[in-house]
Amino acid sequence: MIICPVCDHVQSEGEECEGCGKRFPGLMNIPAPVVAPLAELELTHHAGGRVPVDAPALPELDLTRLRSGPDLPAMVVPDLELTRSGATGEVPVAQMTDLDTGRAQDDGVRTAAPVGAVTCRYCRNVQAEGLLCDGCGMRLPRVRVAAPATAKRGGGDEDERVPCPSCHVPSRPGRPCVACGTKVEVEA
């Protein structure tokens, strides 16, 4: 994927940005211009910048390198406040009297799971099927109907999971991904 350095537009191909028109110089098939060396310039030959250079220290300059790291002696700072406190001993712990530690009484009423057409809570799109909203792409509150139990086929591991090709969440092959809804193909 190509990301434009000017407007951050993402595109898969092209020599210029589809958003702002910026040309991508590294992707264009333009031949490099032929450059002739100037005769009056001295050529400096080097082997990638890794050749040792003979550079003796000048005697008239002071050495100002500061000592750093493990060669410094350990010092005690007297005005530094330590963040540790002494032993506190036994502290009485009393329970708060106005704190409610229980739950409300159960009335037995449960919220019914949505079935049939579902309204997206983000864009209010009404949709009859699918895990993701066709309008905004968010996940819809769907009830998953449990599949009937089937006999195991010989040699197959029903709990085998493979990563989803788009979001990499472990999913069962041949079924839609539980996170993004993309169908996970069986690897051959």
Over residues 14-43, the pLDDT tens digits come to 888 888 888 877 655 667 778 888 888 776
Asked if residue 54 belongs to a domain, the reply is no
Instruction: Tally the C-alpha atoms within 13 A of residue 118's C-alpha that lie toward its C-beta.
Output: 20
Asked if residue 19 belongs to a domain, the reply is yes
Asked if residue 79 belongs to a domain, the reply is no
Q: What is the pLDDT of residues 62-88, one digit of tens each?
A: 766 665 566 667 778 888 777 777 788
The span from the CA of 127 to the CA of 63, in Å, is 77
- The DSSP letter of residue 116 is S
Handedness of CA 6, 7, 11, 14 (dihedral sign): negative
The span from the CA of 170 to the CA of 179, in Å, is 9
Asked if residue 116 belongs to a domain, the reply is no
pLDDT given at position 126 = 92
The span from the CA of 89 to the CA of 96, in Å, is 21
Total of domains in the chain: 1
Asked if residue 141 belongs to a domain, the reply is no
Asked if residue 5 belongs to a domain, the reply is yes
Q: Say which residues have a Cβ less than 8 Å from residue 54's Cβ, sequence separation at least 6.
A: none
Q: Say which residues have a Cβ less than 8 Å from residue 22's Cβ, sequence separation at least 6.
A: 4, 5, 6, 7, 16
Asked if residue 112 belongs to a domain, the reply is no
pLDDT given at position 9 = 87
The span from the CA of 182 to the CA of 168, in Å, is 11
pLDDT given at position 34 = 85
Asked if residue 72 belongs to a domain, the reply is no
Q: Is the pLDDT of residue 154 over 60?
A: no
pLDDT given at position 166 = 85
